Structure 1
Amino acid sequence: MGADRIRVEVVAAWPQRQWMVELDLPAGSTVADAVERSGLVERIPGLEPRDDHLGVFGRLCRPDRELADGDRVEIYRPLKLDPKTIRRINAERQRRGE
């Protein structure tokens, strides 16, 4: 890829299905640029790429983060329950012997 272009992937995953779009973008493009160009928000009902639902290679990042050639932008789905709540529920079940 030339110095003026980068190739990135934008991915989103639901329990039943995954989506991946490969993009060729101008150098200096951001996470927000990649998400917009991917078209995934329009294709996936309920997908909300909020600031706390974006990452690159498994690490949360801001939408204005500049991308490098080969990066994988990830759009995370919202959690149904807070992980702390899930742990508390599981601990209570274990105490009761369920």
Structure 2
Amino acid sequence: MFTVEIAYALPDLQILKKITVQEGCTVHEAILISNLLDQFPDIDLTKRKVGIFGKFAHPDTPLQPNDRIEIYRPLIIEPKDARRQRAKIKLRQYQT
């Protein structure tokens, strides 16, 4: 048995749960054990990407002690588009 963390963040709320799992437990199994899906029924693991410490992971990935599983939300805006918008705003501010 060992401990892992499950992280899920919304714009106004961050959830970080520590759970104890058995050796051989996978990412998917740990998320189910955490009951996070009961709290947030909108999480669809068939569509959401997951990772361990910021690196994408397959749901069948076996866990190691002290891993942090992250459930990612879909992007609201593509990072390149966000940078372009910020650059336009700065350019307008500079011109005035």
Please give the TM-score of this superposition, normalised by the length of structure 2.
0.79
Give RMSD over aligned pairs: 2.1
Q: Take 2:86 and 2:63, find their aligned partners in 1: how far apart are those partners?
A: 39
Q: Take 2:47 and 2:67, find their aligned partners in 1: how far apart are those partners?
A: 18
Residue matched to 2:53: 57
1:89 aligns with 2:93: no
Number of equivalenced pairs: 94
Local SS of the residue matching 2:75: coil
Q: Take 2:59 and 2:11, find their aligned partners in 1: how far apart are those partners?
A: 24
Maintained 8 Å contact 1:30/1:64: yes
Q: Take 1:51 and 1:37, find their aligned partners in 2: how far apart are those partners?
A: 19
Residue matched to 2:3: 7
Identical-pair percentage: 34
Local SS of the residue matching 1:8: strand
Residue matched to 1:69: 65
Maintained 8 Å contact 2:48/2:71: no
Letter of the 2:72 partner, please give it. Answer: Y
Letter of the 1:58 partner, please give it. Answer: G
Local SS of the residue matching 1:55: strand
Unaligned ranges ≥5, structure 1: none
Maintained 8 Å contact 1:11/1:19: yes
Q: Take 2:41 and 2:87, find their aligned partners in 1: how far apart are those partners?
A: 34
Unaligned ranges ≥5, structure 2: none
Please give the TM-score of this superposition, normalised by the length of structure 1.
0.78
Letter of the 1:64 partner, please give it. Answer: D
